Amino acid sequence: MTTLLSGRALTRRFPSPAARPFGPKRWTTALDDADIDVREGTALGIIGESGSGKSTLIRLLLGLDAPTSGTVSFDGAPVDARARARELHWLRRQTGIVFQDPYASLDPRMSVGRIIAEPLWALGIEGDRRARVREVLGDVGLDADMADRFPHEFSGGQRQRIALARALVHRPRLLVGDEPLSALDVTVRAQILDLLRELRATRQLTLVLVSHDIGVVQNLCDDVVVMKDGRIVEEGPTEKVLLEPQVAYTRRLLASIPTITPRSPS
Ligand SMILES: Nc1ncnc2c1ncn2[C@@H]1O[C@H](COP(=O)(O)OP(=O)(O)O)[C@@H](O)[C@H]1O
Ligand SMILES: [Mg+2]
């Protein structure tokens, strides 16, 4: 199977406030020498405690931020946020992202149709944009007529469907979710999880999913990486990592998350 997306030796440091005025500058290492591969057609889960570098990693992988060092490649071609505009444009064309909070991520002043069509404009995709929007609304289980309404008219689950429609309208090969289900109620979460599974199959998407919810990872992801302090501390097939974690940190992390179905050792 071909590797669609990969990161090599990815490191990202951020300046943090000096301990005292005029004191030496300090740095936070958000991501520390991470290697990652996402095979085409698979779903990769990323888990780890808050602050472990998950969002930083996906931002680098999508070219939304530049690594301090290391490289990202998509479909074999190197790209990162320092890449030329044309390469970044190409990366954006092939990727879509959904964030955690469907209340913060949708511009309240824009109609749903405009919100969803925005990537088509930004990426210079021509053709019948209205038709594309209506079609993708159907794909995420919403009415085509909803295009004329505004975000405040919708529930959290519906808003996350709108966010998904925007992430998919340009037909990317890779969909990335940064805790896309975490802000939703349990029943709504299950519905959006089903939708992700369905979209993954019908659109033959490759998925990268940051999640706090081990049930979601178990349900959707073929492989999983575990992050701690900016490093990938464990990775492998989901079943293996979740059922036979090799690292004490992973065992603690799994134990601290209540949603995993306990299994007796066999
Ligand atoms: N833009 C930024 N400026 C300064 N520090 C940041 C920035 N983004 C992330 N960090 C720091 O990097 C670390 C990893 O953050 P993040 O990738 O958001 O973790 P996670 O998504 O796993 O919660 C944290 O210590 C965070 O405070
Ligand atoms: Mg995060």
Residue of 28, 61, 226 to mutate, ligand 1, most atoms within 8 A of C-beta:
28
**Cβ pair 227, 48 in contact under 8 A:** yes
Distance 266 CA to ligand 2 centre (A): 35
Question: Confidence class of residue 113 from pLDDT cuts 50, 70 and 90?
Answer: very high
Count the neighbouring beta carbons within 10 Å of the beta carbon of residue 259.
12
- Domains, the chain: 3-19+27-255 (3.40.50.300)
CA distance 32 to 52: 10
Residue of 55, 56, 68, 179 to mutate, ligand 1, most atoms within 8 A of C-beta:
56
Question: Which ligand number lies closest to the CA of residue 227?
Answer: 1
Question: Confidence class of residue 103 from pLDDT cuts 50, 70 and 90?
Answer: confident
Give 228's strand partners.
231
Q: What is the mean pLDDT of residues 156-174?
A: 97
The gap from C-alpha 242 to its chain's centroid, in whole angstroms, comes to: 20
Query: Which ranges constitute the DSSP H helices of the chain?
Result: 54-61, 85-94, 112-122, 129-139, 156-168, 186-202, 214-220, 238-243, 248-256
Atom of ligand 1 nearest to the CA of 230: 14
- Residues of the chain with pLDDT > 70, as a percent, come to 95
Residue nearest atom 17 of ligand 1, based on CA coordinates? 53
Give the pTM: 0.92
Which tens digits make up the pLDDT trace of 193-250?
999 999 999 999 999 999 988 889 999 999 999 999 999 999 999 999 999 999 999 9
Three-state DSSP state, 213:
coil
Torsion of CA 262, 258, 199, 43, to 10 degrees: -70
Question: Confidence class of residue 75 from pLDDT cuts 50, 70 and 90?
Answer: very high
Tokens describing residue 196: 């992700």
CA atoms within 13 A on the CB side of 232: 21
- State the SS3 of 37-50: EEECCCEEEEEECC
The conformation of residue 148, written as its DSSP 8-state character, comes to G
Tokens describing residue 64: 């939304």
**Cβ pair 197, 229 in contact under 8 A:** no
Average pLDDT, the chain: 92
Distance 100 CA to ligand 2 centre (A): 9
What are the pocket residues of ligand 1 if the criterion is a CB atom closer than 6 Å to any ligand atom? 14, 28, 30, 48, 50-56
Amino acid sitting at position 77: A
Residue nearest atom 11 of ligand 1, based on CA coordinates? 30
Count the neighbouring beta carbons within 10 Å of the beta carbon of residue 66.
15
Question: Which ligand number lies closest to the CA of residue 52?
Answer: 1
Question: Which ligand number lies closest to the CA of residue 53?
Answer: 1
Q: What is the mean pLDDT of residues 20-49?
A: 93
pLDDT of residue 263: 44
Helix or strand holding residue 19 (H, E): none
Of 111 and 265, the structure prediction assigns the larger pLDDT to: 111
Distance 30 CA to ligand 1 centre (A): 5
Residue nearest atom 16 of ligand 1, based on CA coordinates? 53
Q: Does the pLDDT value for residue 260 go beyond 60?
A: no
Distance 53 CA to ligand 2 centre (A): 7
Atom of ligand 1 nearest to the CA of 48: 22
Kindly list the distances between the CA atom of residue 156 and the CA atoms of 7, 64, 148, in Å, as whole numbers in the listed order.
33, 25, 18
Helix or strand holding residue 6 (H, E): strand 3-16
Question: Which ligand number lies closest to the CA of residue 182?
Answer: 2
